[in-house]
Amino acid sequence: MGQVGSEPPYYWLQLSSISIIGSACLLIAFILFYMIYRIKELPFRSAYFAVGFFMALLFLVQISQLFGFWNPDPTIEIILEALAAVAGIVAASVLFILVPQIMAVSKGRREAEQHSLRLERACEELGVIVEKGGEQVRSCLRAIATPTQALLQKEQSAEDQKQLELIQKTTDSLLQTLDFYLEENRSGNR
């Protein structure tokens, strides 16, 4: 309770310890209640509330111990300690009940992180495949463009000339689109 030895060093040590513990309890309770108030989708709100309420009662116990130095009647202190004991049992029970759910959330988060890493690796591998495939498509298009250009240099009938120009124009357009896509793919993988 609030009784201490008559030794001044112990007296001040106990007073300062009680004050610091009480301040810590009040700060923890404030932080927990603030989180409950501010974060509407806070998981396990009941656990935050139970622990916050327990910490607030511990703060009151510490305050009653401070007053016990000057008022030796322990009635209020005993009542607050009993309430804090009940609140502690409730908080521990809530936490115990929530352990499987908390572990499931943690496991789900780890699985999501692993899935994200697998997706990232798959995207990188797909980028490599697209790059290689794009180079092969580019080679094929150049294989079409080169003889088409040579044929365009030769004299052709009007209909053949028209068809060759269409092939050349389409090949050039496809090469430009492919180059653009491959460049975007390279910059996206950086």
Confidence of residue 148 (pLDDT cuts 50, 70, 90): confident
Nearest alpha carbon to residue 148 among 126, 177, 169:
169
Is the confidence at residue 4, as pLDDT, over 70? Answer: no
pLDDT in tens, 20-65: 999 999 999 999 999 999 998 888 889 999 999 999 999 999 988 8
What pLDDT does 16 receive? 86
pLDDT in tens, 92-138: 999 899 888 888 887 877 888 888 888 888 777 777 777 777 778 77
Confidence of residue 188 (pLDDT cuts 50, 70, 90): low
Which tokens sit at 49?
């509330």
Q: State how far the Cα of 122 lies from the Cα of 120, in Å rounded to an integer.
A: 5
What sign does the dihedral 125-131-134-140 (CA atoms) show? negative
Nearest alpha carbon to residue 146 among 114, 124, 168, 119:
168
Is the confidence at residue 13, as pLDDT, over 80? Answer: yes
What pLDDT does 6 receive? 52
Which tokens sit at 165?
């120009």
Question: In this predicted structure, which of 6-10, 148-152, 162-166 has the lowest mean pLDDT?
Answer: 6-10
Higher pLDDT, 81 or 8: 81
Burial label for 9, CB within 10 Å (0-12, 13-18, 19+), is exposed
The CATH architecture assigned to 115-188 reads Up-down Bundle (1.20)
CA 103 to chain centre: 16
Enter the pTM of the model: 0.55
Write the DSSP symbol of residue 154.
S
Domain boundaries, the chain: 8-103, 115-188
What pLDDT does 56 receive? 94
Confidence of residue 1 (pLDDT cuts 50, 70, 90): very low
